[in-house]
């Protein structure tokens, strides 16, 4: 079954910010990185539950993209009743876990 992949506004901002940082250092690498990450995200259309759950928030899963030291973490939620994948945020793997708003 195919799922619809929806990238939230927050995740879109994260993606743009990361792209800008990489582009500042190496424009060709930024394009390659962007296309690769986007393909990895879109691969969630098929079998989105194949990646592990995050322990602290059991409703979120994470996809890791890249190789050390440049690993990026894509946090997402699978909404089975709508057959949808919601990309919540994208971070460099070295960053701390995002805090929940209180």
pLDDT tens digits, residue range 47-78? 999 999 986 666 899 999 988 888 999 999 99
pLDDT above 90 (res 89): yes
Tell me the domain boundaries of the chain: 4-92
How much is the mean pLDDT over the chain? 89
What's the CA gap between 61 and 25, in Å, rounded? 30
pTM: 0.84
Closest CA to 77 of 55, 52, 60: 60
**Predicted local distance difference test score (pLDDT) of residue 100:** 52
Class of domain 4-92: alpha beta
Q: How many CB atoms lie within 10 A of CB 69?
A: 8
Is residue 44 very low, low, confident or very high in pLDDT (cuts 50, 70, 90)?
Answer: very high
């Amino acid at each position: 079954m195919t799922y619809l992949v929806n990238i939230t506004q927050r995740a879109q901002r994260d993606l743009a910010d990361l792209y800008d940082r990489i582009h500042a250092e190496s424009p060709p690498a930024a394009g390659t990185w962007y296309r690769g990450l986007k393909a990895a995200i879109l691969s969630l259309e098929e079998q989105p539950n194949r990646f592990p759950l995050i322990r602290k928030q059991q409703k979120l899963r994470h996809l890791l993209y890249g190789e050390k030291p440049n690993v990026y973490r894509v946090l997402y939620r699978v909404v089975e009743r709508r057959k949808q994948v919601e990309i919540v945020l994208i971070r460099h793997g070295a960053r701390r876990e995002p805090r929940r708003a209180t």
